[in-house]
Structure 1
């Protein structure tokens, strides 16, 4: 039985990496056990670790579901200077998506459900029914 998941990306400069991911997630890390390492719990049981080291070539993308890909594009282009952030969509695919890289070459992907009711169902499934989230 799998009950939790952790994904790790590596960055050459930990202070810059932690600052970059702090902006991406719009909050401080949840756990910093030692120098050169920080973790964010993205969802219950789903963690992203940022570790100082040599990035793996063509790592990722780590895909994150978000409420509004257009709003997030504006925010990230402004705060993180992301240049290549094209939103894609195809009629037969239930999401809009975009993929870009962090400054160390790690792939990051964002997606938004085209049908808002599917997004709400996923939130309720993962986080439980909380009217503030819906």
Structure 2
């Protein structure tokens, strides 16, 4: 069985991306294993890796389920991360999306459940 899950965001400039994701997570990266990669542990066995990959940059998707989407989005906005309007999706799920400087899509999900 899997021990960890790692999502990967492809970017052009690691220094610029590192600053933007620091603001998103409101903390520095947990790990910097090589010059072209920074990592945040986002749950006990889940990590987000931000890495230089110019060919794939701008095509990554990252979804994160949050407890209170209004609080999360407002806090992110206060740090300069301009999430869009919160919209109703389906079955009580609500979404808000932002693009990082490379155009990668990050979606906050409120009302997420393991089963619907």
Q: TM-score range by the shorter chain?
A: 0.7 to 0.9
Structure 1 100/71 Cα, relative in aligned 2: closer, same or farther at 3 Å? same
Instruction: Kindly name which structure, 1 or 2, has the bigger radius of gyration based on alpha carbons.
Output: 1
Structure 1, unpaired ranges of 5+? 123-134
Is 1:94 equivalent to 2:92 in the alignment? Answer: yes
- The structure showing larger relative contact order (alpha-carbon pairs under 8 Å, at least 6 residues apart) is 2
Q: Greater share of strand residues, 1 or 2?
A: 2
Rounded Cα–Cα distance in structure 2 between residues aligned with 1:16 and 1:56: 13
Please give the secondary structure, in 2, of the residue aligned with 1:80: coil
Match of 1:3 in 2: 3
Please give the secondary structure, in 2, of the residue aligned with 1:100: strand
Let me know the Cα RMSD of the aligned residues. 2.1
Q: Greater share of helix residues, 1 or 2?
A: 1
Structure 2, unpaired ranges of 5+? none
Match of 1:132 in 2: none
TM-score (norm 1): 0.72
The number of residues matched between the two structures is 113
Match of 1:80 in 2: 80
Rounded Cα–Cα distance in structure 2 between residues aligned with 1:25 and 1:10: 17
Rounded Cα–Cα distance in structure 2 between residues aligned with 1:53 and 1:79: 26
Task: Tell me how far 1:77 sits from its aligned partner.
Answer: 2.7
